[in-house]
Amino acid sequence: MKKHFYVLIISLFALACKKNNTTDIHPIDVNINVAYNLEASGYKLPLNKVNIKITNISTKSKQELKVSEDGTLVIPQLSPGSYDIDASATLTAEEYTTITSIPTDKDVVFNASIKNKIIPVGFNETISLKLVAGSVSDWVIKQIYYAGSDKVNGALFRDQFIEFYNNSDKVLYADSLYFAETVGLVSKTSANTYNILKSTNQMDWSKALDMPSSVDANNDYIYARALLMIPGTGKQYPVQPGKSIVVAQTALNHKSPFTGRDGKPISVLNPSLTIDLSTADFEAYYAPFLTKPLASDIDNPDVPNLTVLSYFGNDMIFDNPGRYSYALIKVDGTQNPKNWPMYPYPTKATPSSTATRYYQIPVKYVIDAVEISPAEAEDRIPKKYGAGLDAGFTYVPLGSYTSQSVIRKTEKTVNGRIVLKDTNNSTEDFTYLNIANPRGFK
């Protein structure tokens, strides 16, 4: 009887503690302050055009609200937790030109974001967001198939591709388009190895060996472990409005068996898990650079090869968990990207003379960028791109080796031409396909 009495007392005590803990967690009114990054501009842009989206990372619940004319907003009764906060505003070309007297024929998009903001019990600070302008490009990254297909029944990583889209109403030429797989911290523990920028928790490239002190290494540049170019004479590869170009790791039909470089057959057990890339527009071919190329790196003579400025690994193999990001680059006649400087990671220890170096790419030549992130919130890594390039990120929900791809959303159709969504925030602009589909739409 005494034993049962003690159990009852302990149970009642635990219940009381639980009740007291839950009643202490009160919803919070969170104050937001928004401003445009317009130092010494002489003009003001309308703050009541700014939209705020706040997303609970754990529950995925979202709220969307408008900012007042003075740039303030109170988000009422927010539960304590971790949140993504995104701010965006779009001014039409006419609105922007009227206000600023700066001529433009494209809409101007402004973005700001704070990712994984912890709002604890008793939170009382004002969250400030500074909106940064980003241009809307004629070229956009449309689809990235980085996850690959099943390791046993599919094609592993050899069916990966990236797709670029002419989002304009005029013919564009793919000649001399560059794209890069960009680098940064890829794990939380690796932060112990590198110099870290406190404001972003990302690598502090200003501390890289031989980095000039006269440049803004963290804000004016991104860094690439792979930099590739579409070849051409200038107008050799026209792309019609509303059409795309597919760049394959290996331009073959991965649903069907083929013979590898070693003379052995390569096939998949379940062709429905992979794709046909035999009609890709370009392919990566790394075999000439390697002493031991992959058996699957077959050169399709009917598909032009990319020009490789720098590469990582044994083929154009994208990171399956989604820890690297992608940028599309177009330079003017003053630039020769092959001559851009290269720097090693900003390690705390002095890097060796043989340490890998990464191309430093000026942000002003980036015409589109897509931040990729691991699927699970607990696996997230610090963002590599600022809000001027990509205020958000995207991912495939099922993760590695699932046949899923990220794909830009359709915004509208104009005279039969599909216009894709482009707000410089991949969280808003992208969704996913359960099976990657070159030249497909969603």
Q: What's 104-141 look like in SS3?
A: CCCCEEEEEEEEEEEECCCCCCEEEEEEEEEECCCEEE
For range 46-70, the mean pLDDT: 92
pLDDT in tens, 420-429: 999 999 999 9
pLDDT in tens, 165-184: 999 999 999 999 999 999 99
More reliable by pLDDT, 130 or 6? 130
- Is the pLDDT at 314 greater than 50, yes or no? yes
Whether residues 129 and 175 share a domain: the answer is no
For range 231-247, the mean pLDDT: 97
For range 44-53, the mean pLDDT: 92
Range in 92-106, 187-201, 284-298 with the lowest mean pLDDT = 187-201
How far is residue 66's CA from residue 264's CA, in Å, rounded to a whole number? 61
At 136, the pLDDT band (50, 70, 90 cuts) reads confident
Which domain, by its residues, includes 192? Answer: 139-433
For the entire predicted model, the pTM comes to 0.89
pLDDT in tens, 350-409: 999 999 999 999 999 999 999 999 999 889 999 999 999 999 999 999 999 999 999 999
User: Does the residue 3 lie in any domain?
Assistant: no
User: Does the residue 234 lie in any domain?
Assistant: yes
Domain count, the chain: 2
More reliable by pLDDT, 128 or 187? 128
The domain boundary residue, chosen from 111, 135, 159? 135
Is the CB of residue 333 less than 8 Å from the CB of residue 377? no
Cβ atoms within 10 Å, residue 421: 16
Whether residues 127 and 203 share a domain: the answer is no
Whether residues 196 and 240 share a domain: the answer is yes
User: Does the residue 439 lie in any domain?
Assistant: no
At 146, the pLDDT band (50, 70, 90 cuts) reads very high
CA-based radius of gyration for the chain = 25
User: Does the residue 278 lie in any domain?
Assistant: yes
User: Does the residue 337 lie in any domain?
Assistant: yes
> Residue for token digits 């842009």?
45
- Is the pLDDT at 337 greater than 70, yes or no? yes
Q: Which residues pair with 35 in a beta bridge?
A: 130
How far is residue 432's CA from residue 149's CA, in Å, rounded to a whole number? 15
The domain boundary residue, chosen from 104, 135, 166? 135
pLDDT in tens, 6-46: 444 444 444 444 444 444 568 889 999 999 988 767 889 99
User: Does the residue 75 lie in any domain?
Assistant: yes
pLDDT in tens, 96-116: 999 999 898 888 899 999 988
User: Does the residue 143 lie in any domain?
Assistant: yes
How far is residue 392's CA from residue 332's CA, in Å, rounded to a whole number? 28
Tokens of 227: 């930099």
At 377 the pLDDT is: 87
Strand, helix or coil for residue 302? coil
Whether residues 38 and 98 share a domain: the answer is yes
Whether residues 235 and 337 share a domain: the answer is yes
Helix (H) or strand (E) run with residue 67 in it? none
Tokens of 49: 């055009």
Whether residues 332 and 351 share a domain: the answer is yes
Closest of 142, 169, 166, 146 to residue 157, by C-alpha:
146
Closest of 112, 161, 105, 103 to residue 132, by C-alpha:
112
Whether residues 271 and 345 share a domain: the answer is yes
- Give percent of the chain with pLDDT exceeding 70: 94
At 219 the pLDDT is: 95
Is the CB of residue 293 less than 8 Å from the CB of residue 120? no
Task: List CB contacts of 175: < 8 A, sequence separation 6 or more.
Answer: 230, 231, 232, 233, 234, 235, 236, 237
Mean pLDDT score across all residues of the chain: 92
Whether residues 341 and 363 share a domain: the answer is yes
> Residue for token digits 């792979």?
226
For range 84-106, the mean pLDDT: 90
- Is the pLDDT at 200 greater than 70, yes or no? yes
Whether residues 103 and 146 share a domain: the answer is no
Whether residues 298 and 424 share a domain: the answer is yes
User: Does the residue 96 lie in any domain?
Assistant: yes
At 143 the pLDDT is: 98
For range 67-83, the mean pLDDT: 92
At 106 the pLDDT is: 82
Whether residues 372 and 354 share a domain: the answer is yes
The domain boundary residue, chosen from 68, 101, 135? 135
Whether residues 184 and 106 share a domain: the answer is no
Q: Domain holding 88: CATH number? A: 2.60.40.10
